[in-house]
Structure 1
């Protein structure tokens, strides 16, 4: 479940109502595995970044974990409630990490430049317009130091078509229950996910809320082309969590774009 990288007028409440429960919802995510994989990709491409921008950082878990590993970090997310929690968590853990509430497609951090930008958990699928995604690629390129890298993952069209968002949890011992159902339009490549949540804080009464999240599937060739048009010198694409080339049935692809 990604954080929010870019605005979308059809889903103004996305990642707002769910923000207080986001960390609980993501508690099963193997964050250390994801970070180790990113570091593996950096090493494979002979990259040794010292400063990292976490795009669509959500509540800042990855941002803080990278800081714990010695990187100088910053985070960006469109969701104000998520950024507020990220700042609170950083303060609690005595980290001085800047977090910015900004849209990826219009991101402007002044003179700040980074050795690497990362965007994980299929966050860029939330950008629904081709020109906005292209703009985000240009903004990331402009905020990188020479030789810097941009690593991100996306859900493939195959994954969205196969209903990978159809999930539910209603275990009695689980305070957060959810039911997600998706609809995919193969012509527009838009996947609409209707999400219903209920949370029991210990009172025995459940608070119910809903959100609608929308993702778009993008083809490997068009993402690669747009990255090169944004100015990246090299673009390499991997089947998810590996260093193998993409497969026809890959459900997640990782991109390594180097300035």
Structure 2
């Protein structure tokens, strides 16, 4: 996302450092931060699509990472494609999904694909990296361009409550043996965003002595106002905005941590 701060040259691009351990980190986040497991997210998407007019066969995932969700959707028979800014993450996705799945290296708001899809998804809080209404609208406009009329766009974000109560100026850490990591969060003075420094220690696979590779990444996560999301979507031809509680069909509420948004292209 373009809203990320300028990083020192010694730091890798976002998600490149964690790519080799991302799948295990995702399992830890599901267990400790309350994210829905990806099979349950895929079940929700399939039920959501079946309740709407127009068959969903083709699905594009933006910010697809290592292909965990694409794999779930492919197992359910959908024709899938993915896009991500990290070549390292796409390398893992390619090994998981095979050569037949189109994977595009690009950074939002750019979506450089030449076809339209029945649905676009982003199930990993990727839009919390968007710094402004203008940048959010650019992404929505790009999504609408690759959606067929009547197609749906479903994404999740960290709710404002999650950003305020869960991230904050806190530290989260875990030692999984061959993998250890620390998430350190520091809020901006105005509460508009939280800077997250991720430090990872990954045991070298080729070193019998048990040495580790230490890497760091810096992420900036923005609090997204619901009315800003709705107005930006409406400006880009995305309508019928509904927001659910963490991949259930219950409406989002004050205690919701992960908001699941759904729009339709007019």
User: Considering the TM-score relative to the shorter chain, is it more than 0.5?
Assistant: yes
The structural deviation recorded for 1:200 is 1.6
Q: Which moves more between the two structures, 152-161 or 181-190?
A: 181-190
Which of 62, 65, 68 in structure 2 is aligned with 1:61?
68
Which of 120, 143, 153 in structure 2 is aligned with 1:117?
120
Q: Which residue of 2 aligns with 1:105?
A: 109
| Counterpart Cα distance in 1 of 2:250 and 2:197 | 33
| Cα deviation digits, residues 64-97 of structure 1 (max 9, x gap) | 2211211111000111211122123222xxx510
- Whether the 8 Å CA contact 1:63–1:75 is kept in 2: the answer is yes
| Counterpart Cα distance in 2 of 1:152 and 1:185 | 25
Aligned pair 1:170/2:171, yes or no?
no
Gaps of 5+ in 1: none
Q: For residue 39 of structure 2, give the secondary structure of its aligned residue in structure 1.
A: helix
Q: Which residue of 1 aligns with 2:4?
A: 8
Q: Which residue of 2 aligns with 1:257?
A: 263
Q: Which residue of 1 aligns with 2:56?
A: 49
Q: Which moves more between the two structures, 215-224 or 196-205?
A: 196-205
Gaps of 5+ in 2: 31-36
- Whether the 8 Å CA contact 1:53–1:114 is kept in 2: the answer is yes
Aligned pair 1:37/2:44, yes or no?
yes
Aligned pair 1:156/2:159, yes or no?
yes
- Whether the 8 Å CA contact 1:52–1:72 is kept in 2: the answer is yes
| Cα deviation digits, residues 212-250 of structure 1 (max 9, x gap) | 111101011110111111101321111222222221232
- Whether the 8 Å CA contact 1:161–1:186 is kept in 2: the answer is no
The structural deviation recorded for 1:45 is 3.7
Q: Which moves more between the two structures, 56-65 or 8-17?
A: 8-17
The structural deviation recorded for 1:166 is 3.8
Q: Which residue of 2 aligns with 1:243?
A: 249
Aligned pair 1:73/2:69, yes or no?
no
- Whether the 8 Å CA contact 1:234–1:257 is kept in 2: the answer is yes
| Cα deviation digits, residues 187-232 of structure 1 (max 9, x gap) | 2511111111111245311221111111101011110111111101
Q: Which moves more between the two structures, 25-34 or 119-128?
A: 25-34
Aligned pair 1:87/2:83, yes or no?
no
How many residues align? The count is: 249
Q: For residue 81 of structure 2, give the secondary structure of its aligned residue in structure 1.
A: strand
